[in-house]
Amino acid sequence: MVSKGRTAMNQKVGGQDGPLRRRVGPVAMLFTGITSIIGSGWLFASLYAAQIAGPAAIISWFIGGGVALLLALVYAELGGMLPFAGAISRKPHFSHGALCGFLVGWLCWIAYVATAPIEVTAILQYATNYLPWLTTIEAGDRVLTLSGVAVAAILLALFTGLNLAGVHWLARANIAITFWKLVIPVLAAAAIIIAGFQVDNFSAHGGFAPNGAAGVFAAVSGGGIVFSFLGFRTAIDMAGEATDPQRSVPLAMIGAVVISLVIYVLLQVAFIGGVPPEHLVDGWNRISETAAAGPFAAFAVVLGMQWLAAVLYFDAFLSPSGTSIAFMGATSRINYAMAANGHFPKVFMRLNRFRVPAWALLFNFAVGFLLLLPFPAWSELVGLISSAAVLSLAFGPISLAALRYQLPDHERPFRLTQVLPFSIVGFVMTAYVVYWTGWETNWKVFVLVLVGVAALTVTRLLRKDPWGQLNVRESVWFWIYVVGLTAFSYVGNYGNGLGLISHGIDLVLIAAFSLPVFWLGVRTRLPSKDAKALVSQVSS
């Protein structure tokens, strides 16, 4: 039996200008997750992962997919029990209070708002093959020209307009787009395997793992693998508009990760076997530049499959477009949730006649465009997004364990067994992924954390809000976590770290560091009565 309170919660999510509508069904939720995952990652991640890890990039995909699946299971319980709009940022708010809610929302927003620009960059990078004025080569990277940035702005404006038209229409369009996005990668992989598969590529040119285990781990973050899986979170952010969130949210996250992992591994195998030998004369890390503008399409041309190249050029517009549209919608829900928690201006809760957060969408469009100026290349944005997003996901395992103590009797349509082992492993794995991203990227993310806190401080001072309501004590574990990961990144072996710790020993030390931080995070949760009051306030 469904309680009266839960029935009300399933009908609406309150806001300043009225409720978000629950009109997205289970299949549409699953397809939203898939279309968010299979975007520009399938077009470029196989290339960058192979450059870093060689054929062993296949192992990197299983590691990245395993991390994503583990976190999807964690968030499946959280998303099912508390299905609110922008829920990624709200779970830590319920379990650890305002400051933790702000921190996870801030990091999540950074990663999300940068995703639409990176997808648009992917579109234009492939389009360079027939519109060469869109990009140019700078310091070995293919970046947008000024004309390319202008075209990118037009595409971002178009995708913003589609989101403004309403979630119900968008979800229907995503079903059709996702069918296409499932078929084309499989078709491309199969065609390349049949037409020109080079078995020797898996053992020649430096062997299966030319850069050893370090290359395998580095590819998880720097090769765009974790980035490719981050789309599973959009189902949580859209939970406030799901018709049956308790069933559809877990289905969407877990199903999307499993389906996408199979496709990505198939693509990586096809890529490794499909690289013409002449492209590997200098090794995997020096794959010929002709592949960088569109690797699968380039191989299709080399193998004489012009029809496949034409299909891939079309898909290179459609797949990133679908992901960009989905993430724009999800990002606006983060703004909405942050505003509901009092961390962003209340204007982001204002809904248009289609009941979507219009001002949030317009603001995110402006920020996304500005991000194209300092980061005009796919490879430049992918590490930043991965590190920020995974750092935000570190809150999930701790919130899950904490809420088991705080809300023991709350309905959990999906209940994770052995919650502590899953939560602990998930927390340690998030630390690994952030560490593998490397110092060169991580220091920027850690600075952005401080920027967010500074912005929150200014907001609090202007509003004259009491500092006691921030729940600073409950956030101490996160600051220890960030300081520790900063130190490990600086002295570690990835992204221009100093390399002062031996490979293998670094992973042991990070695990040993993460375990007491996890314990502290669960131990310093909000009192149960406060957590229940926060949930009741949002549910009413």
Q: What are 243-265's pLDDT values in tens digits?
A: 666 667 777 788 888 899 999 99
Alpha carbons within 13 angstroms on the beta-carbon side of residue 30 total: 13
Cross-strand partners of 142 = 137
Tell me what percent of the residues of the chain surpass a pLDDT of 90.
Answer: 29
What SS3 state is found at 293?
Answer: coil
Give residue-wise pLDDT tens across range 457-470: 877 777 666 555 77
CB under 8 Å to 410, separation ≥6 — which residues?
Answer: 81, 403, 535
**Cβ atoms of 282 and 275 closer than 8 Å:** no
Tell me what percent of the residues of the chain surpass a pLDDT of 70.
Answer: 86
pLDDT at 292: 57
Do the domain assignments include residue 312?
yes
Measured at the CA of 529, the angle between CA 525 and CA 533, to 5 degrees, comes to: 105
Q: Quick one: pLDDT band at residue 75, thresholds 50, 70, 90? A: confident
We report the CATH number of the domain holding residue 375 as 1.20.1740.10
Burial annotation 166-196 (CB, 10 A radius, 16+ → b, else e): bbbebbebbbebbebbbebbeebbebbeeeb
User: What is the number of domains present in the chain?
Assistant: 1
| Range in 56-60, 212-216, 465-469, 514-518 the model is least confident about | 465-469
Average pLDDT over residues 211-226: 91
Average pLDDT over residues 197-201: 88
pLDDT at 164: 84
Do the domain assignments include residue 287?
yes
Mean pLDDT taken over the chain: 82
**Encoded tokens for 136:** 């140019």
| Range in 71-80, 191-200, 363-372 the model is least confident about | 71-80
Do the domain assignments include residue 478?
yes
In the predicted structure, residue 11 carries a pLDDT above the cut 60: no
**Cβ atoms of 225 and 45 closer than 8 Å:** yes
Do the domain assignments include residue 152?
yes
Q: Quick one: pLDDT band at residue 483, thresholds 50, 70, 90? A: very high
Could you tell me which residue, 363 or 80, shows the higher pLDDT? 363
Q: Quick one: pLDDT band at residue 492, thresholds 50, 70, 90? A: very high
Average pLDDT over residues 473-494: 94
Give residue-wise pLDDT tens across range 409-419: 888 877 888 88
CA distance 73 to 119: 26
Average pLDDT over residues 195-221: 89
Give residue-wise pLDDT tens across range 311-348: 888 888 887 887 788 788 878 878 887 787 677 778 88
Do the domain assignments include residue 539?
no
Please list the alpha-helical segments (H only) found in 165-244.
167-196, 212-222, 225-229, 234-237
Cross-strand partners of 351 = 357
In the predicted structure, residue 510 carries a pLDDT above the cut 80: yes
CB under 8 Å to 82, separation ≥6 — which residues?
Answer: 90, 91, 94, 535
In the predicted structure, residue 3 carries a pLDDT above the cut 50: no
- Long-range contacts from 198-202, C-beta under 8 angstroms, 24+ separation: 198/273, 198/274, 198/275, 198/276, 198/277, 199/273, 200/277, 201/55, 201/272, 201/273, 201/275, 201/277, 201/280, 202/55, 202/272, 202/273
Q: Quick one: pLDDT band at residue 310, thresholds 50, 70, 90? A: confident
pLDDT at 412: 80
CA distance 181 to 174: 10
**Cβ atoms of 124 and 148 closer than 8 Å:** yes
Which amino acid makes up residue 54? G
**Cβ atoms of 98 and 342 closer than 8 Å:** yes
Could you tell me which residue, 501 or 240, shows the higher pLDDT? 501
CA distance 527 to 523: 10
CB under 8 Å to 482, separation ≥6 — which residues?
Answer: 391, 446, 449
Burial annotation 247-268 (CB, 10 A radius, 16+ → b, else e): ebbbbbbbbbbebbbebbbbbb
pLDDT at 10: 39
Do the domain assignments include residue 145?
yes
Domain range for 265: 21-532
pLDDT at 176: 73
Average pLDDT over residues 69-86: 78
pLDDT at 9: 35
In the predicted structure, residue 1 carries a pLDDT above the cut 60: no
Please list the alpha-helical segments (H only) found in 438-495.
439-463, 476-491
Q: Quick one: pLDDT band at residue 91, thresholds 50, 70, 90? A: confident
pLDDT at 425: 94
In the predicted structure, residue 168 carries a pLDDT above the cut 60: no
Give residue-wise pLDDT tens across range 94-145: 899 888 988 988 898 888 888 889 889 888 988 887 888 998 877 667 788 8
pLDDT at 2: 35
CA distance 28 to 33: 9
pLDDT at 406: 94
pLDDT at 173: 59
What SS3 state is found at 357?
Answer: strand
Do the domain assignments include residue 429?
yes
In the predicted structure, residue 365 carries a pLDDT above the cut 80: yes
In the predicted structure, residue 381 carries a pLDDT above the cut 80: no
What SS3 state is found at 67?
Answer: helix
Q: 245: closest CA among 10, 518, 533?
A: 10
Do the domain assignments include residue 129?
yes
